[in-house]
Structure 1
C-alpha cells in the first residue's frame, strides 16, 4: 500500500491519482474524517463541491489542514482498511460511526464450539471478536458472501437436527448440524477442527491478511501436486481462485457507498432544519403516510419507512381501509390508530402527505395514544413543510435543500406504495364485476 499526504486544498487534489483507496482528512495529524472510494480524486472533489451547500462538509474541510491518502489494490481491501482506521481513530466527523444506533459490525463468537458469524450494532460481548464498523448491512452481506465462498461457515443462531440449506450449496461446510450428528468421535473431532480452521480463515481475511492465506494455500497446493494427490488439490485450487477474485475486486459496492454518503448529508441537513422547530434526538427511523382512493372505493394507505435515510422496504406496511371513510381525515384517523395499536418500532419522526388539516388529525391521534413523536406534513403546490407543533408553522426550504429533498423522496415513495395497492384492489374488483 502506498501512503501520501497533501495539503487540504482543492488545487492539491489534482496531485491525487484516480485509483482505489482510502483518504483521511487531518487536523494537526489527528484524523477528522475517513472515507474510501474507487476514485479517490473524484470523491475528494465531491467533498469540496458539497461544502458549498452542506454545513458538515464545510466543517470537515475548514477544520483540516492535510489529507492523507492510501492506495489499495482493490475496493475490498479499501473497505476493510477504512473500517479498521475508523475503529482505531474514531474521527469526529464520521458521525454515522459515532451514533451508537448506527454502528454495524461483523461479530464472531470465537468462544463457541462452532463460532457463529453475525451482523450486530453493538460491541457488547467481550468474549466475541468484532470487525468494523461498516456503513450498511448490504456491504457486510456482500463481504461475507465473498468470504463464504472461500471459507464456508454457518450463520444459523441455533443448531438443529438436520443440515441447513447452505450446506446443500457448500456455503456451510462442514455444517455444525451435521457435525453434531456424527457418531464416530474421531470423525467428529476432525470435522470440528476443519470448521474452526475455516473460521480462522475468515478472521484473517477480515484482518487484512489475505496474502498470508494465499501463500499458505499455494504451499498446500504444491505439496499435493508433488504427492500426486490431484483430487485433493482441486478444492484447494478452487479456494485460491475464489480468494484471488475476492481480494482483487475493483468495484465492490461503490453505488451503495454513494447512497449512504448522500443519505448522511440529507439526514444531517433535515436534522438541522427541523431542530429549529422540533425536539429531535435522532432520525434513525422516519415513517411517512399517504392515502390512495377513487370515489372512496378500495381505499388504501401506506406506511413507508426510511432507516438511516434510505428506504427500508421490509418495514413497509399497507392498509386496506376497513371503515366507510368519506374523507382523507377519516382514513388518516383509522390508519394511524391501527398503527399505534401494534407494537412496531416507534419512529423518530412522522411525515404525512398533506397540509394543516391532516397534521391536526395525526396530532389528535398521537395525543390519544400519549405519544410525543415529532410530526411534519408535506403540502403540495408548491411543496412546503407543515411543522406539527401548536402553531402549525409553514416552512418552505430552498428547492434543492438536501433535507427537504429527503422528505419529498419519502412522500413520493409513500404515494407510489399506496397507489400500487389501490390499483391492485381495483383490478380484483373489476375482475369480479366482469366475471
Structure 2
C-alpha cells in the first residue's frame, strides 16, 4: 500500500480508497487515523468492508477544520466521482427547477434541469417534473406570465392562445407595460420562493396602493387574482397547519432498502420522490439519509421551514451543522413528528415501502423469466447475460445501432452502447448491423461477449450476425433473432436461431423477456438516432462555415440559443 497508516493525521477530514488508480470508496471521519485504521482490523465481518479492504491498493486523505466540513466535502466528492462502494443516488443531479429568464425585458417562466449550480432565478428543487408543470400552470393562471421562447416572443404580431385563455398578459404585442409585468414577476417569485401567504400579502399591499391612487381598474385586476389564488389554495390544500416541510423516510424490508422524500409547500403536497437499493443498508441508514438531504438541496437557494425525519440518525447534529455551513442559516431538523404531520409522515413511509414491494415483485418476475428462458434454451450457466441489438435511422439518415445488456437482475445500463453508422451504410440494415457487431468484437477483451445475442429482425439479420461471429475462434454466444408477426401485432413474434424456429409459449416468461430486450434495444436506438438528428439540425447552418469547430459551435448555440439569433447578432458581439 502506497500510504503508511501511521502517517494518517488524527484530524477531521475525508479519505479516498483507490484500486488500480480508480476511486472505489470515499468516506468522512472525525478522526481520520482511527476511522481508516478500522478498515484494516482483524474483526471485520461486513462483506462490503472486506471487499474494500481486499481491493484497496492506495489511500489518500484530506484534512478539514471540522467534521461538518468533512461531511460537505464527502458529499461533493461522491457526486463527482461516483465510487463503486458508496451509496449512489443515480438520478439526484437532475431535479427540476422553475426558472425566470430575468435577462429579458419581459421574463418568461419555464422548467429547467441542472447538473451544476443554479442561479437565484431558479426556484426549487421540485421532486418531479409534474410538480413543476402544475406550479407553472398555477402561476400563469394567477399572474399571466408568458411561457414562450424568446424567439417566439420576438416574432409575434398578435396575441397567442395563452392570452385568449387568460394565462398570459400579452407582453409580446404591448398589452402590458414593462413595470406592471415586472410586478407580476415579483409576485410570482414570492409565490414559489416562500408561500402563498407571503405572495398574498404583497398583492394586498399593491391592491391598496392602486386603490389609494384611484386606479380602480388595476386594483380590481389584483382582486381577481387574489380570488384565483384563494380558490387554488382551497382546492389543493392538504394540511393548512403545515406551510413548508420536507419529510425524509428510510426503511428496510427483507434486506432491501427504500427511501422517500415528500415535499409540502403552502399546505400542499408538491410531490414525492422514491429511491430503491437492492442491498441491506441497515448499518448505513445515516449515510443514506445525509445523501438524500444533500443531493436534494445541493443547488437550492432556499430551504423549507422544517425538515422532518421518520427516524433519528446518529449524526443528526452533524447534518444540522453541515446545512448551517452550506446555507448560512439554521433550520429545524427533527425526528419528532408533530401530530399535525403524522398523516404525511405515514404517507412518506408508505411510499418507501411501496417502492420496495414493487421492485421486489418486478425482480421476482424477471428472475422467473430468466429461469424459464434458460430451461427453453438448455442453459445451465449461472448469471445469464443477454445483449440486444437494433438499428434505427430517420428516412435513411442519422443511422444508429444500439447494444443493450440484461443480466439476472434486469437491465445493466453500464454496458449500454451506441454505434454511429457511417453515412454510406445508412438505410442498409444488414450492413449497419455487421458494422456494429464488428465494432462490438473489438472490445471483447475488456467486455466479454454475453451468453445470448438477440437481433431485431428476420433470417437476413440472423445470418448477418452468424457470419460475423463465425469468423471468431472463441466460444460463440447463442444468437437469436425476433421477427414481428404479419400485422406487427404484439405476441405474434417468432424467435429464430441457427437451427430454425424456437417454439415458445407467447405467455411464457422467457418469451416476454426476449420481447423486453427487443423493446429496450429499439427504444435506445431510436432515442440516440433522434438525438443525432437534433444535433445535426441544431448546428446545420454553422457546419457550412469554414473555421468554426465543435467547441465554438457549442459556445454560439449556448449564448444565442438558435441560428436566427446568431444571424441577427452584430460582428462586434460575435468577436
Instruction: Compute the TM-score of the two structures, normalised by the length of structure 1.
Output: 0.45
